[in-house]
Amino acid sequence: MIRKTASTINDADLDQLYDQLGRLQIANRALNTAALEAVQRAEHAEAAIARVRAIHSHGRRTNACNDCGQPWPCEVARALDQAAPTAATQATEPRNPNARQAVDHL
Ligand SMILES: [Zn+2]
């Protein structure tokens, strides 16, 4: 793309640039909304995990879970500590369909 200057740009070029600017602003708003939603989902998930960890905690005297009584770490504690290899892949895909659509139309 050849960069136009103020003396070489015409009305059609300017219209095209404003159209592109409009699409980028729409995409930016959709992505910002998706990012805020992702942060909220992550905060809710982390709070839920913390609540479950507080319930399924290590009973020091018994060396068992304080909730389910299984030998420590209990099945729930082990599940919370497992790596989730697909989570990183899924996190890159925005759930907000407007964000996905805005990016696809750039
Ligand atoms: Zn437990």
**12-16, 21-25, 96-100: range with lowest mean pLDDT:** 96-100
Is pTM beyond 0.75? Reply is no
Cis peptide before 71 (omega within 30 of 0): no
Side chain identity at residue 64, one-letter code: A
Confidence of residue 102 (pLDDT cuts 50, 70, 90): low
- In the reported structure, the alpha carbon of residue 48 is separated from the centroid of ligand 1 by a whole-number distance in angstroms of 15
Is residue 6 situated within a structural domain? no
Report the C-alpha dihedral over residues 81, 77, 54, 41, rounded to 10 degrees. 50
Model confidence pLDDT, tens digit, residues 71-100: 999 999 999 999 877 655 555 555 666 666
- In the reported structure, the alpha carbon of residue 71 is separated from the centroid of ligand 1 by a whole-number distance in angstroms of 8
Query: Phi and psi of 97, rounded to 5°?
Result: -65, -30
Is residue 88 situated within a structural domain? no
Structural domain that includes position 100? 11-83+96-104
Is residue 3 situated within a structural domain? no
Q: How many domains does the chain contain in total?
A: 1
Is residue 41 situated within a structural domain? yes
- In the reported structure, the alpha carbon of residue 58 is separated from the centroid of ligand 1 by a whole-number distance in angstroms of 8
Is residue 89 situated within a structural domain? no
Is residue 2 situated within a structural domain? no
